Structure 1
Amino acid sequence: MRRVAITERGDWRAQAGACGFDFHTIGGAPYWDETAYYAFTLRQIEDDLEDPSAELHAMALDLVDEVLRDEAKLKQLAIAQPYWQWIADSWQQRQPHLYGRLDLAYDGNGPAKLYELNYDTPTSLFEAAFFQWQWLEDQRAAQRLPAHADQFNSLHEALVARFGQIAPELKHPLRFTAVRGSNEDQGTVAYLRDCAAQAGLHGELIALEDLGLSEDGRFTDLDDLVIGTLFKLYPLEDLFGEAFGQALPASGLQLLEPPWKAVLSNKGILPLLWQRHRGHPNLLPAHFDDGSALQPGWVRKPLHSREGANVALHLADGSWQESQGPYTGPCIIQAAHPLTAFDGRYPLIGCWVIGESACGIGIREDDSRITGDSARFVPHAIIDAVGMPGTLYA
């Protein structure tokens, strides 16, 4: 694994605009960064990222039934009690799921380590599935990458296929929603809507703020049509806190991702995984935070935090780093395994699982060991390591 400088495509901003990637720059700072890429060998991709991600995904799914049958575990995960049965029913019915992202620390040596699962509202999908593939094709055509350069990326095809697989299990009509003011979330749901349409599954976009609730407790769109299935890029635990949240269990609304993903999108799954698979090479020791004193070498994360917010990192050398954010409540403690610096930047690898298969990666790169919402997306390529320039992990 190496970080390699490369010339940008001269027209990439025009290409981004043409395909709706209007969040390539956020707050005046670059989000998409193609001044460099990460180069991998095929062995690193297959043995160190793809296979372990598939195994970790299967291990996580194996825990869902156990958690949903154990009130003590549901309390540990701080899942609101009025929703327990609804969540359990969605699992017993095996309501279909679409996708998820595993965030991994990896520098080309040793096993990748699981930081967390993003299994309810994962983002950076469009740029991973579509725009970085377009980058690869253009750079090969420009001969800045060798003709044999490849990418761990069958995401688009897998998404279309998965929508086709789950279509018969979804209630109609289908709607896609996200917060109106988030360009990134709106761009993601627009992309997923397009993938669904390519599979023959059609649904309109609706802003989360425009969802209605009928007198008999059904969720409706702007035409007052009762929604059958709602793809929502909005955290399930936050939906519970909305005024209409209490209507969810009795509404008959089907969700993508399904309610049972509340178990896996919760950072409390990390200590539960460690309890079940203690010593697994891809897991970090983790436990629920009980407030006891800790030796240096740990990370504290709230159960429901996102985008690296409210994370406290205390390294073995005594150094300390903490990110700000809005999240409170119960936390977990995870053994510190700091990201490795490449050219002073810290890459976090997100491995995507579509259905049950690991299908591709996206890399977010930050100037800090805590990957925040301002982290840049940097493309990758699979290239034979011999004879290629670049910065080795350091």
Structure 2
Amino acid sequence: MRRRPSPRRPDWREKIESVGLIYSTTIKPDGDAIEYWHEDAYYEFEMDEVEALEAVTEDLHRMSIEAARYLATGAMGTLGISAAAMKLAAGSLARSEPAVYGRFDFAYDGVNPPKMLEYNADTPTGLVEASIAQWYWLQDVKPENDQWNGIHEALVAAWDKQRGGLEGPRLHVAHTEVEKSGEDWMTAAYMRDVASQAGWETVGINMGDIGWDARQHRFVDLDNKAVSTIFKLYPWELMMKEEFGQKILDWPVMTRWVEPAWKMFLSNKALLAALWHLYPDHPNLLPAYLHGPNGMEEWVAKPLHGREGDNIRIHAEGVEIEQLGDYGAEGWCYQAWSPLPDFDGNRPVLGCWVVDGESVGVGIRESDGHITDYFCRFVPNIINAPAPAAGPATG
């Protein structure tokens, strides 16, 4: 893997916004504006690297399912959720309720084995840029090359596989209206698009607009139609704390949720400790423990429900960092410190996408510091190989 400089397209902003990436500009606390989409460079993979990373991703996904079964026993504690939520997640896992997607985050320098940092398996974002925006960048800038990106076709195929339900192929797609950047809205809109291509009738709705029919014990939309199958871009651990979530606990199989309740195990940082417990010394894992560093001299403390780098603490030689945020009361996981690789001051994290259990592409975010947070950059990728004759890897 190498980082290569590249000239920007003169109309790059219009290009990314035309495919849904409307949330590129971020305002920092000091008032400065920074751009999330960054095409002044790209990362170049060799095909054998991609094949190796795909194998690692799929192996870790299978291992994570086993770790979820272990977490479901309660052997590693409550995971910062209620006993009722644990029971719901365990029942969902036992029923093998279908899932669509997730995103592993890896540290990888192109030389040493990739190391798993976490698994964003409940509400992963970064989908529009990884699936669409970087594909159209490739067509404009490097059309002779391939790209590690089959996300779009994989999502359509996954939704096609799941098509149908108690109310026929009607899919409600929900996000929270609280998120103001537009990222959740566009991610939900994109998920509606791929589901529609798979033959679903889709209905968009805000999480706050989902109602409850007490007579039928069903969730309903604004037209009083039953919510039979729903994709929700809203974390399970938050749903479980709300009155809304109690209805799910009382009637757990009345609605098919995507992602399903068992993703509470995979999106929890306790997964890292469970994986290390089950697969000690695995070359793609870092030592991880709950409740304390367990003798590690250098470590990263991660809140069990944390997102976007909030509340992360790093304790390492020459590095003492503590991020602000609202997480931590639910508990912590302590993972061995493994600094991100440094490409001339740019520190990338590989977001390796899993759809229906298979590795299908990558989105690369990089930052100047040791934590990938709200102010990171998304950088496109290419494979050092010719573009396939069959056509694009994504729609």
User: Do the two structures share a fold, i.e. TM-score over 0.5?
Assistant: yes
SS of 1:26 mapped into structure 2: strand
Identity of aligned residues (%): 40
- Counterpart Cα distance in 1 of 2:75 and 2:64: 18
Match of 1:361 in 2: 362
Asked if 1:38 is matched to 2:38, the reply is no
Q: Which digits, 9 at most, give the CA deviation of each residue in 1:28-55, with x for residues without a partner?
A: 32111111111111122112x1111110
CA distance in structure 1 between the partners assigned to 2:249 and 2:209 by the alignment: 20
Aligned residue for 1:206? 205
The answer as to whether partners of 1:76 and 1:268 remain within 8 angstroms in 2 is no
SS of the aligned residue for 1:200 comes to: coil
SS in structure 2 at match of 1:71: coil
Q: Is the 8 A contact 1:154 1:359 kept in 2?
A: yes
Contact conserved, 1:170 with 1:254, CA < 8 A, in 2? no
C-alpha distance in 1, partners of 2:17/2:373? 25
Superimposed CA distance per residue, residues 283-330 of structure 1 (whole angstroms, 9 cap, x where no aligned partner): 0001102477x5531110011001111101112x24211211110221
What SS does the corresponding residue of 2:22 show, helix, strand or coil?
coil
Aligned length: 373
Separation (CA, whole Å) in 2 of partners of 1:113 and 1:171: 43
Show CA shifts across 1:53-97 (max 9, x none).
1100011112233332x2333x34223111233222222221110
Distance in 2 separating the partners of 1:171 and 1:94: 21
**Which 4+ residue blocks in structure 1 deviate beyond 3 angstroms?**
168-173
1:359/1:169 CA distance change after superposition, 3 Å: farther
Matched, 1:247 2:247: yes
SS at match of 2:81: coil
**1:176 aligned to which of 166, 173, 178:** 173
Structure 2 distance, partners of 1:333, 1:88, is 24
Deviations 1:159-213 (A, max 9, x none): 0001001114676542111112431011001001100000101211111121112
Give the Å deviation of 1:156. 0.4
Query: Which string of whole-angstrom CA distances, capped at 9 and with x for unpartnered residues, describes residues 337-374 of structure 1?
Result: 01011121211000000001001000011111111022
Does the Cα contact within 8 Å between 1:346 and 1:365 map onto a contact in 2?
Answer: yes
The AA in structure 1 aligned to 2:379 is: V
Residue 26 of structure 1, CA deviation: 2.7
Which is further off, 208-217 or 295-304?
A: 208-217
Q: Please tell me whether the aligned partners of residues 78 and 86 of structure 2 are also in contact (alpha carbons under 8 angstroms).
A: no
Q: Counterpart amino acid of 1:38?
A: Y
Q: 1:374 and 1:242 mapped to 2: Cα distance?
A: 30
- 1:285 maps to 2:287: yes
State the secondary structure of the residue aligned to 1:241: coil
Amino acid paired to 2:193: D
Instruction: Give the gaps of 5 or more residues in structure 1.
Output: 142-146, 385-394
What's the CA shift for 1:225?
A: 1.6
Instruction: Confirm or deny that 1:379 pairs with 2:375.
Output: no
**C-alpha deviation, 1:4, in angstroms:** 1.0
**Alignment-derived partner of residue 156 in structure 1:** 152
Q: 1:273 aligns with which of 272, 275, 282?
A: 275
Contact 2:172–2:203 (CA under 8 A) maintained in structure 1:
yes
- Contact kept, 8 Å, 1:174 with 1:228, in 2: the verdict is yes
Runs of at least 5 residues in structure 2 that lack an aligned partner in the other structure: 28-32, 386-395
- Over residues 215-268 of structure 1, what are the superposed CA-to-partner deviations in whole Å (9 max), with x where a residue is unaligned? 344222111222111211111001112232211123412210000111111110
Q: 1:245 to 1:76 in 2, by over 3 A?
A: closer
**What is the alpha-carbon root mean square deviation over aligned residues?**
1.7
* Alignment map for 1:289-328 (pairs within 5 Å): 289-290=291-292, 296-315=297-316, 317-328=317-328
| Contact in 2 for aligned 1:171/1:254 (Cα 8 Å) | no
Q: C-alpha separation between the residues in 2 aligned to 1:195 and 1:36? A: 29
1:193 aligned residue = 192
Q: Report the Cα offset of residue 14 of structure 1.
A: 1.6
Q: Does the CA-based 8 Å contact 1:96-1:169 persist in structure 2?
A: no
In 1: Cα distance, 2:12 partner to 2:47 partner: 27
Match of 2:388 in 1: none
Distance 2:166 2:292 in 1: 41
Q: Find 1:72's aligned residue among 72, 75, 84.
A: 75
Match of 1:130 in 2: 132
Check the 8 A contact 1:307/1:371 in 2, yes or no: yes
Q: Structure 2 CA distance, aligned partners of 1:349 and 1:95? A: 28
Aligned to 1:335: 336
> What pairs up with 1:106-145 in 2 under 5 angstroms?
106-141=108-143
Deviation larger for 80-89 or 169-178: 169-178
1:254 aligned partner, one-letter code: R
Q: Which amino acid aligns with 1:322?
A: E
Amino acid of the residue matched to residue 246 of structure 1?
Q
User: Is 1:53 the counterpart of 2:61 in the alignment?
Assistant: no
Partner AA of 1:52 in structure 2:
V
- Kindly provide the amino acid, as one letter, of the partner of residue 12 in structure 2: W
- For normalisation by structure 1, the TM-score amounts to 0.90
Q: Which residue of 1 aligns with 2:19?
A: 19
Distance in 1 separating the partners of 2:57 and 2:364: 15
Partners of 2:36 and 2:297 in 1: how far apart? 33
TM-score in terms of structure 2 length: 0.90
Distance 2:130 2:348 in 1: 14
Paired residue type of 1:234: Y
- Note if contact 1:185-1:233 (Cα within 8 Å) is conserved in structure 2: yes
Q: Which residue is equivalent to 2:238?
A: 238
Q: Does 243-252 or 3-12 show the bigger shift?
A: 243-252
Structure 2 match to 1:144:
none
Change over 3 Å in CA distance of 1:205–1:131 after alignment to 2: same
Question: 1-side partners of 2:341 and 2:18: how far apart?
Answer: 35
Contact 1:38 1:381 in 2 (8 A): yes
